[in-house]
Amino acid sequence: MTTTRPIAPHTQTVTSVRHYTDRLFSFRVTRPQSLRFRSGEFVMIGLMEDNNKPLLRAYSIASPSWDDELEFYSIKVKDGPLTSKLKNIKIGDELIVRPKPVGTLVLDALLPAKRIYLIATGTGFAPFASLIRDPDLYERYDEVILCHTCRDLAELDYSKELVNSLPTDPLIGEFIGDKLTYYPTTTRENSINMGRITKLLVDGTLSKDLNLPPLNPETDRLMVCGSIDLNNDIKKICDAAGMNEGSNSSPSHFVVEKAFVG
Ligand code: A2P
C-alpha cells in the first residue's frame, strides 16, 4: 500500500515585529537549519490560508548570512493577499519559509571594481540591509554608496537606524571603517536630499554632493532594487555609461531586481 505524505511546511516562529509607518514593517523569524544563502538573495515566505494552502511571495532576506535568525522588511498593501494578513503577525506566530534562496543581487554577479552603488526605493532596501552587513562587501570594494529613496522621512527610518548602528556593531563595524556612505533622499517631504535618485544621478547632484566622478565601467558597479520603472530607468543610465548587466554565470557591471510589492 502507498501512502502520501504531506509536504513539509517549513514553518518558522516569529521572534520580533516592528512597525515603522502605516505602510512599512519589519519582522524576524527563526532560521531553518538547512537554509544557506548569499547576501542579497530572496526566498518564498508566507502563511497558511483558511483552505490549508500556503500563500507565498518572494521576499528578500534583510539579515546577513551569519545571523542566527532571518529578518524581512515589508510593505503593507491594503488589499494585498499576503501583506494584509502578514501585517498582523505577532511574536510566537508561525511563518512558512521555503529554504530555497535565489536572486540576482549577489556580489558574484559583478566584476571587481573600486566602488559600488547600492540603489533602492522603498522596501527595495531589504537585500541591501543584508549586503551592508556582509564583510565580503567591504573586502571587494573600497567605497560603498548606499542610496535609498522614499516618499517621506519616516519611510527612511529602517535604513537610517541600521546604517547608524553599523559602526559600533561588534561583528561588522571593523570591516566597514569609513567605506560606507549613506545617501537618503525623499520625494514628497522636504529633506536635505530631495528628489528621485534617478534624477539626482543624471543631473550630477549625487556626484557633486558626494564628490564622486561620473559613472564609469572601469571603476563603478551598481546593484538596483525597486519598482520596474526604477529598474528600467537605472538600466538606461547604465547603458548610457557603457555598462552591461551581469548575472551569476556572466559577471559584469550592474544587476537589478524588482522589489517585493504585494
Ligand atoms: P515618487 O514619490 O516621485 O513616486 P513607493 O513608495 O511608491 O514604492 O515609492 C518609493 C520611492 O520611489 C518614492 O520616493 C518614489 O518617488 C520613488 N520612485 C518611484 N518610481 C521611481 C523611478 N522610476 N525612479 C526613481 N524613483 C522612483
Over residues 89-114, mean pLDDT: 97
CA-nearest residue for atom 5, ligand 1, is 122
Q: CB within 8 A of 186, min separation 6: which ones?
A: 149, 150, 151, 152, 153, 155, 156, 193, 194
Contact 101, 35 (CB under 8 A): yes
CA-nearest residue for atom 20, ligand 1, is 230
- Is the predicted pLDDT of residue 262 greater than 70, yes or no? no
Query: pLDDT per residue over 132-186, tens digit each?
Result: 999 999 999 999 999 999 999 999 999 999 999 999 999 999 999 999 999 999 9
CATH code 2.40.30.10 region(s) in the chain:
11-101
- Is the predicted pLDDT of residue 60 greater than 90, yes or no? yes
- Is the predicted pLDDT of residue 7 greater than 70, yes or no? no
What atom in ligand 1 is closest to the CA of residue 151? 14
- Is the predicted pLDDT of residue 8 greater than 70, yes or no? no
What pLDDT shows up at residue 5? 44
Over residues 50-73, mean pLDDT: 95
Beta strands in the chain (DSSP E): 11-19, 24-30, 42-48, 54-60, 69-75, 94-102, 115-121, 143-150, 180-186, 220-226, 254-258
CA geometry: angle 168, 170, 171, nearest 5 deg: 120
- Which burial class, exposed, middle or buried, applies to 12 when counting CB atoms under 10 A from its CB (0-12, 13-18, 19+)? buried
CA of 226 to the centre of ligand 1 (A): 8
What pLDDT shows up at residue 51? 86
Partnered with residue 226 across adjacent β-strands are 258
Contact 51, 81 (CB under 8 A): no
What pLDDT shows up at residue 6? 46
Q: What CATH code is assigned to 11-101?
A: 2.40.30.10
SS3 209: helix
Average pLDDT of the chain, as a whole number? 94
What atom in ligand 1 is closest to the CA of residue 199? 25
φ and ψ of 163, to 5 deg: -60, -45
CA of 257 to the centre of ligand 1 (A): 15
SS3 35: coil
CA of 188 to the centre of ligand 1 (A): 10
CA of 108 to the centre of ligand 1 (A): 28
239: its cell numbers: 547603458
Confidence grade of residue 9 (pLDDT, cut at 50, 70, 90): low
CATH architecture of 107-256: 3-Layer(aba) Sandwich (3.40)
Strand order in the sheet with 69-75: 54-60, 42-48, 94-102, 11-19, 24-30, 69-75
What atom in ligand 1 is closest to the CA of residue 198? 25
Over residues 53-66, mean pLDDT: 96
Separation CA 245–CA 233 (nearest Å): 13
Contact 251, 110 (CB under 8 A): yes
What pLDDT shows up at residue 181? 98
CATH code 3.40.50.80 region(s) in the chain:
107-256
> What is the secondary structure of 225-240 as a DSSP string?
EE-HHHHHHHHHHHHH
* 137 membership: H or E segment, kind and range: helix 135-140
Question: Taking CB atoms and a 6 Å cutoff, what residues make up the pocket around ligand 1?
Answer: 121-122, 149-151, 187-188, 196-198, 227, 229-230, 233
Separation CA 243–CA 100 (nearest Å): 30
SS3 44: strand
Confidence grade of residue 260 (pLDDT, cut at 50, 70, 90): confident
- Is the predicted pLDDT of residue 12 greater than 50, yes or no? yes
CA-nearest residue for atom 16, ligand 1, is 187
Q: Closest Cα partner for 150 from 54, 60, 92, 73?
A: 73
Considering the chain, what percentage of its residues have pLDDT values greater than 70? 96
